[in-house]
Amino acid sequence: MLKYYCVSLMLLILVACGGATTEEMVKDPTRVVYTKYCMSCHGPDGKLMSSGAKDLSISILTEAEVEHRIRKGSNNKVMMAYEGILKDEQIKSLTQYVLKLRK
Ligand code: HEC
């Protein structure tokens, strides 16, 4: 009896702790990357403008310019270059993610 209690308790803890984030990672891995690397300055919706960051929801940069900015960082070096830190495909999907923040 106690054994079953322990097993179900363990399952519960697993679901409570890991469930949401694991599900989120599978559904939208780019959002997880954005949350980890970009949200501190740009916020969840791109509008935070912390540390002098630009509001991404009203940005007028082209797709190529957004990608370039992510690769090379900002001119004033507040935003670092993510080339070499993120994989090429991550930078590309982040670019799409950033563009979608406008709608
Ligand atoms: C340390 C804070 C910081 C982090 C972290 C950061 N940024 Fe920025 N970002 C800035 C600042 C500051 C600017 C504006 C700099 C400028 O005008 O030269 C900026 C500008 C941008 C721009 C250009 C917007 C425009 O219209 O000019 C894009 C796109 C962008 N960031 C995307 C990202 C993405 C994607 C990430 C995560 C990989 C990220 N940023 C992480 C601070 C940050």
Report the share of the chain in percent with pLDDT over 90.
Answer: 68
**CA 26 – ligand 1 centroid, Å:** 25
In a domain, 50, yes or no: yes
In a domain, 38, yes or no: yes
54-76: pLDDT as tens digits: 999 999 999 999 999 999 998 88
In a domain, 8, yes or no: no
When pLDDT is cut at 50, 70 and 90, the band that residue 77 belongs to is: confident
CATH code at 70? Answer: 1.10.760.10
> Which amino acid would we find at residue 81?
A
Provide the domain limits for residue 55. 28-100
**CA 47 – ligand 1 centroid, Å:** 11
pTM over 0.85: no
Number of structural domains found in the chain: 1
Q: Which of 93, 90, 101, 97 is nearest to 48 (CA)?
A: 101
